[in-house]
Amino acid sequence: MLLAEMKRKIGTMVNDRVPDVTQLFAKELKMDLAEVDVEARIAKYFMSFDQLVEENGLTSILGRGPAQDEGGRQRMKLRCKLLLNHVMPEMLKVDLTRLVEMTHRRAKIDDLVLHDLIVERATQQQQYHLMQSEMKQISAQRPRDTSGTPSGVRQRSKPAAQVKPVVAAAGTKKVTGPQKPPRDGCLVCKGPHWARDCPTATPEQKADVERTLQDRRTRRQEKVKRVTANEEPAFRTTVVNGVLDVPFCPDTGSDANIIGRPVLNELQELMELRVELVQPPVEVVVAGGNRMQCHEKVHVDLQIVTAAGPLQLTNIECLVLEAPEEELLLGKTTLQSIGVDLDGIFEQLAQQRLEDAEAEADDVPGDDVEVLGTATDDEVEQVLHRLVDDAVDEGFDEALADDLRTLVLDYEDIFRLRLGRDEPADVQPLEVCLEPEAQPYRSG
């Protein structure tokens, strides 16, 4: 009896006052990011939540326990929502919110599932950030080597910064050493020298060549740039190998799947991934009509996030594009393998429209079309003669055979061998008239 009363008192709000739960937890509930151990950090977070619930008498509406009825389901739903809303850092909260909304919906009403999910994703993000910090420290301690080949995305941009001082602001060129002639020769005379050194080119021709090269460089920087109406994140996302969440774009005009170099580098930081060389290189045509060569390919597993749940694709071959492409492009072959065939959809729509048009058309064919076939002029007459002869053979009086033949031929037009059209009926048009002694009335 005493224990029951204690439980009742604990689960009752102080003085029956209902506090502002959202403001209360936003002010009091914090995640200790100074704790390095991820599991300990999440455990402290859940313990702090339960302590706030008990101190404010919110056990009946936010306490732990299985959801056995609709009330319990609403209690766990509110509990998990508050736990998720105050997760830190913000990147982890955004990641968890997407997963709970799309693929891990059980975590909406089960705090144990939510706990395991938070631990899993927080551990992955912790490993990623620790690895990034280590790489930054190593890069800062390593002396700069201008002759070496960069291996990372950030290091790959350094040579471009070192090339910029070659051309002075006034347009004069610094001579850093002998330069090899272009592979395809001079753009003016095809000789073994640069166009700017061509002895036969006029100043106007050299200026035209310079403008052409400048246009090519400008287009080359924008050839994989995707134009969007706003800066909102893409709706379609896919999880690559279960560790990296990236946006993807279904491209029915592409024959191959494309993964950008930045995405591949980030994926290799999270896990070991085998990259295969493509021999000979595959030439691809990108936006704007420019051509690039892909020298590598990878095989990855994809989990496409949809409103109906995750869609698993395994062992998908992707060509590595040396461009700052942040999206994963799924080509026509892969889309057709999961039933997404744009050409087939267009064919079905065209066939459906054709069938609808035929159904809506006049169901009475023209004069040159036979529905079930029509008889010729003398075909009915021949059949009538044969029927009269058959009647005589069956015992009809031969003396009356001619009269019978004349009778049926006089009414030949009422016999039909097949359904078809006849001549228009030759009848007098009908007239509407009143009955005798009828009195007309006007309404309204």
Instruction: Enumerate the domain spans of the chain.
Output: 2-128, 183-222, 237-343, 379-414
Give the span between the Cα atoms of 94 and 310, in whole angstroms. 18
Give the span between the Cα atoms of 371 and 365, in whole angstroms. 7
* Alpha helices (H) in 11-157, listed in sequence order: 21-28, 38-55, 59-62, 70-85, 90-102, 111-141, 153-156
Give the span between the Cα atoms of 10 and 8, in whole angstroms. 6
Q: Report which residue type is found at 417.
A: L
Chain segment 200-229, per-residue pLDDT in tens: 778 888 888 888 777 766 654 434 444 444
User: For residue 87, which phi and psi values (nearest 5 degrees)?
Assistant: -75, 140
Confidence band for 321, pLDDT divided at 50, 70 and 90: confident
Residue 211's SS3 state is helix
* CATH number belonging to domain 237-343: 2.40.70.10
Residue 42's SS3 state is helix
Burial 195-225, CB ≥16 within 10 A → b, else e? beebeebeeeebeebeeeeeeeeeeeeebbe
Mean pLDDT value across residues 115-143: 81
Chain segment 343-397, per-residue pLDDT in tens: 777 777 777 776 666 555 555 455 444 444 445 567 888 899 999 999 999 899 9
